Structure 1
Amino acid sequence: MIAGHGIEKLAKANMKLGFWTPRITEFCFIIGAMKSGTTTLYEYLSQHPAIARNHFGKEPEFFSKSKPPSSLDPYFRQWFPRPFRRQIALEASTGYSKQPAFPDVARRLTELPGRKHFVYILRHPVERLESHISHNIAAGEIMPLPDGALPELTHQLAVSRYAEQLDAYRSAFPEIPVITVAFERLKSDPTTIIREIFMRLEIDPNVNLRELPPLNARPKEDAETAFRLTEAQRSDVVEALRADVRRLHDAYGFDVSIWGLI
């Protein structure tokens, strides 16, 4: 019997030849949120032997593409599972929680056969928004405005409305509760959080985890691209997000007290 990397090499070789291709039938989607530690969460979860990494990167964004794919076969081929053992395909496409920019993701995911799990890591929504804007500026997607003026924030605010993003998954998958994780808890106690997720995935939680670099809420940023709201702007943004934060607690049971916004 071929073990370990030998099976993976055999799977790759057979796929290239058009022969036998093992297919994963269980999936875990880290749906976001952008700038909330999804990379760290992905790297921790993918250390488990029952979890298969995506071989083309953590963010395939397969179901958020503007043109729906005609076949799911290319998606299945992004993993090379070991046959005869349970494995969960893991990905972390942050476009899966960016409504209304990508409005049909949850519905498209209903077309994927197999068992599904959803994980959503949530960061203080105002800090996430600031980091999102900094990312946009660094990427040249928006230009910094003079005198501390705010750019147009419709998209960034939408991505920080976590309850609104969760609504799409509750509608599409009423029988599958999304696993919500606080960024702040992952930062302070990653081992406990990861083991809690493993238990929710019904896999052995007692695996040895390689320690990853500290998860910083505000990584070092270029002074030219780092964006910070003024106190007045922050107050306006908090007010714009307050109703969603309250609903995140009331409708989804998420402990929002760590953010001090309501």
Structure 2
Amino acid sequence: MRLEAVEVRAGYGRRDVLGGVSFALETGEALCLLGPNGVGKSTLFKSLLGFLPLHGGSFLIDGKGVPYRDRKGMAKLIGYVPQSHEPPFPFRVLDVVVMGSLARSGIFSGPSREEFGRAARILDRLGASHLRDCVYTEISGGERQMVLIARALMQEPHFLVMDEPTANLDFGNQMRVLQQVRLLARSGMGIMMTSHVPDHAFFCCSRAAILSPGLPFRVGAVEEVLTEPALREAYGIDVRILRRREGGWTIKTCVPVPWESPEG
């Protein structure tokens, strides 16, 4: 299955924040969207999800327009993982996960025993089965993020949109979430995520894109898009991409060049 943006323009009121954005994402791929604050990453997601009307262009899935008016059909195509979520009541984790199935069945259809079983299996798949009976409002930020991923997976979507899934997480929880991104893409799901850290794209994504004010939208293979000149141009700082072979892996990391001289 293929998700496409074709010359998308979007913004607020009459003001365009995005102009002429085009890309394609296949199921089984993970695409990381990077760029400085305020360039329209969240605007792109909001327009893709139907929260904002387009000013121009279109989003297509397998050549057909995204069915925004068909809520159930939309839920089967695209799942969404927000940065954070605070439920109005202290629900049990398993109940929060099961809520994801309502997007496909309807709010007036109570979840079945089978759906609770499926929710438990998804938590187990994410390594979070120990959380199932915990109170969602009392678990850590990293644990909540796993629960939100599980809730989105209850929809069984073909594509998963993740808005800064590692925001405000410690290093260990960041890596656990990114490892799940890798595994979900390998299982055949299409992932589109935002991040402020180029290393995240190196770690778990096959494709990357850069949104930057005054510059053309760039998208392609990670190693082709996330180059030192491109990152320097986007963020206004000098960087180096370091590579090291370790146990059959090529490890890449992006580091800033210090402003002061080595002598201090």
Work out whether the TM-score is over 0.5.
no
Shorter chain as denominator, the TM-score bin is: under 0.3
TM-score, normalised via structure 1 length: 0.27
Structure showing the higher helix proportion among its residues: 1
TM-score, normalised via structure 2 length: 0.26
Structure showing the higher strand proportion among its residues: 2
